[in-house]
Amino acid sequence: MDIRRLTDRLGGLAFGGDYNPEQWDAEVWKEDDELMRRARVNLATVGVFSWALLEPEEGRYDFDRLDAHLDRLHAAGVAVDLATPTASPPPWFTLAHPDALTVRPDGTRLTHGSRDTYCLTSPAYRRAARRIAAALAERYGDHPALALWHVHNEYVTLCFCDHTAAAFRVWLRTRHGSLDALNEAWGTAFWSQHYTAWEQILPPRTSQWHHNPGHLLDYRRFWSDETLAAYREQRDAIRAHSDRPVTTNLMVPDYQNLDLWAFGREVDLVSIDHYPGAPGVDAAAQAAFDADRARSFAGGGPWLLMESGTSTVYAGDRVLPKEPGDILRHSLAHIARGSEGALFFQWRQSRAGAETWHSAMVPHAGPDSRIFREVTAAGAAVARLGELAGSTVGAEVAVLHDSDAWWATTVDGLPSAELGYHPALRRAHRALWDAGLTVDFAHPEHDLNRYRVVLAPALFLLTDAGAENLRRYVADGGTLLLQHFGGIVDERLHARLGGYPAAPLREALGIRVEEHRPLAQGEEIALSDGSTGSSWSESLRTEGAEALAAYTHGMLDGSPALTRHAFGSGHGWYLSTRLDDAGYTALVGRLLTEARVLPGLPGLPAGVEAVTRHAPDGRAWHVLINHLDEPVPLARPGHDLLTGGTVSRLPAGGCAVLRAL
Ligand code: GAL
């Protein structure tokens, strides 16, 4: 089953969003039909939060409303992405099964009244979730409106209850085989943590001081596996009655505690939700980051932007609006990178309830509004891009991503609070995005040979196999940049002995790190090439590499800070500090130049995004997005699918989708 079935069914790319008609009456539904037609909506996600209405009491279903909505949508030509409503159990469920409520690390048991308040390891919850998924599949599995299944909604909730403790122990037995092995892996010989019975092991609940790091990392791995098992149960219950593709909407990057590579292998199509955390061009860079990750988790193939906001930027303690034109620009940023459409949360802005102020496709002001006009324009644009369906996006550069490495940077007792995983990945991606490149993400153990340049920020945890793979990548001609505090521990979080990073990688980099010297908050350290480092420094010596820049004062005066090693037919670079922005951009630029990596569409100024989608039959399209406040002439005019005419310049803030010649 693949996404091609979805786009074939839709006759092109998807456009639409979450549709929650239970909030409205028949008059409004009638208007919805008309407005969806105007906006060219062809896919609506239905039922995400409908559990309380679908199953008003345990085991008694009321499908009348959903029947009517699916029939109505079908009549209106809108296909349905039908959700299982398991992200929000109804009040009756939690009253009947209080043991299925989430327990926080400090032991507080939450109560209903919000959403996502369930424990995935609770047998009652799992039974109820399977049951309603099966009931929906049985009833709607062959419904003519049905194009896609949407299991759950953003699996986000962690739990630390007794059910979790029991499931965690089962998982630990499987992973470690014996208590001796677990004790060895976690290093329990220290701090009197030695376990003599499985029952003694708890989820990492609130404790006096640092938790055992291996315990924390294993809990994260366990939770991801448990979530995947819960997803699979629903998926399989659905598949027993329906042959439509199944997905779950993933939230990237750091909100969702899941191994997204593993999820990518289990879903029929990868779908993500994207909400930027900053306005303007930073939002565009974030869209590219999430979209590139989604495509990578989809194995490089097409995927789907399941949710985004028409005017929602989550900026700390407030929600900022998007700029005029962002609806199309952001939609195209995802489509450019392989999304088979653009969907939003939600269709009509709620009049009441928890998300009254969340933006929507039809705002409170109604269709006579800038937002609805932009939605309509975006719908018309997406409708013109049908020929892109099934095409894919390639990249010559990659940033490494590994959930274990991410989770490893969140354990207690690390030497600095400035070792954040996603900020480091974002920065690496941003430097490549600014250079006009399309970026893949790759796992350290993937075959990396197709990439000319690989950036490895925040790779604190690296397995032996990963270290060997990176060594081989360089030997075979790749250009690798390992950044500070990389290759430091193995998958058990055991420190590498005899010098960092992991031995095979030291060979490829031609260096040996002896000592970490974290910097104080705000402290800077000057480098001989005029750049500055912050947050971190290291004492290292070269073992074959050449030093390109050295520290210039203090104990490290004269020691290498940045090195390059010609190894086999490639180059291993090592950066031992966090460079200032200009220095980092210049370094990445230098790597690209030396590895002869050019932007996909040369000749465009910085600030114009260009990504190419390729069809298997050789056709290709350049998606262009101008983030500048001025028009940009195009070196070669081309046929623009958005306007249907030839374009020779991109207006300020404008977009084009050109057929490649
Ligand atoms: C998503 C979620 C939606 C909605 C949206 C608001 O993460 O799946 O249900 O709450 O956020 O931004």
Residue range 349-370, pLDDT digits in tens: 999 999 999 999 999 999 999 9
Q: What are phi and psi of 52, to 5 degrees?
A: -60, -30
Ligand 1 atom index nearest CA of 314 = 12
**Taking 50 as the threshold, does the pLDDT of residue 155 lie above it?**
yes
Residue range 260-304, pLDDT digits in tens: 999 999 999 999 999 999 999 999 999 999 999 999 999 999 999
**Taking 70 as the threshold, does the pLDDT of residue 542 lie above it?**
yes
pLDDT for 257: 87
pLDDT for 132: 98
Ligand 1 atom index nearest CA of 251 = 7
Q: Which pLDDT band holds residue 254 (cuts at 50, 70, 90)? A: low
Q: Which pLDDT band holds residue 431 (cuts at 50, 70, 90)? A: very high
Please give, one letter per residue, the 3-state secondary structure of 366-431: CCCCHHHHHHHHHHHHHHCCHHHCCCECCCCEEEECCHHHHHHCCCCCCCCCCCCHHHHHHHHHHH
Distances (CA, A) of 473 to 444, 447, 509: 10, 8, 12
pLDDT for 480: 98
How does the average pLDDT of the chain come out, rounded? Answer: 97
Residue range 581-637, pLDDT digits in tens: 999 999 999 999 999 999 988 889 999 999 999 999 999 999 999 999 999 999 889
Alpha-carbon distance of 562 to 336, in angstroms, equals: 35
Q: What percent of the chain has pLDDT over 90?
A: 97
Please give the DSSP secondary-structure letter assigned to residue 267. S
pLDDT for 253: 66
Rounded (10°) CA dihedral 423, 427, 429, 432:
180
Q: Any catalytic annotation for residue 507?
A: no
Residue range 296-318, pLDDT digits in tens: 999 999 999 999 999 999 999 99
pLDDT for 251: 86
- Residue 116 alpha carbon to ligand 1 centre in Å: 11
- Residue 251 alpha carbon to ligand 1 centre in Å: 9
pLDDT for 1: 46
pLDDT for 564: 98
Residue range 198-230, pLDDT digits in tens: 999 999 999 999 999 999 999 999 999 999 999
**Taking 70 as the threshold, does the pLDDT of residue 77 lie above it?**
yes
Going 312 to 314 to 318 to 323, the CA torsion angle's sign is negative
Residue range 54-75, pLDDT digits in tens: 999 999 999 999 999 999 999 9
Give the position of tokens 């010098």. Answer: 499
The answer to whether the CB of 154 is under 6 A from ligand 1 is: yes
Residue range 97-148, pLDDT digits in tens: 999 999 999 999 999 999 999 999 999 999 999 999 999 999 999 999 999 9
Mutate to test the pocket of ligand 1, among 150, 312, 345 (most ligand atoms within 8 A of CB): 345
Please give the DSSP secondary-structure letter assigned to residue 595. T
Q: Say how many C-beta atoms besides its own lie within 10 A of residue 354's C-beta.
A: 11
Strands 339-344 and 538-542: unpaired
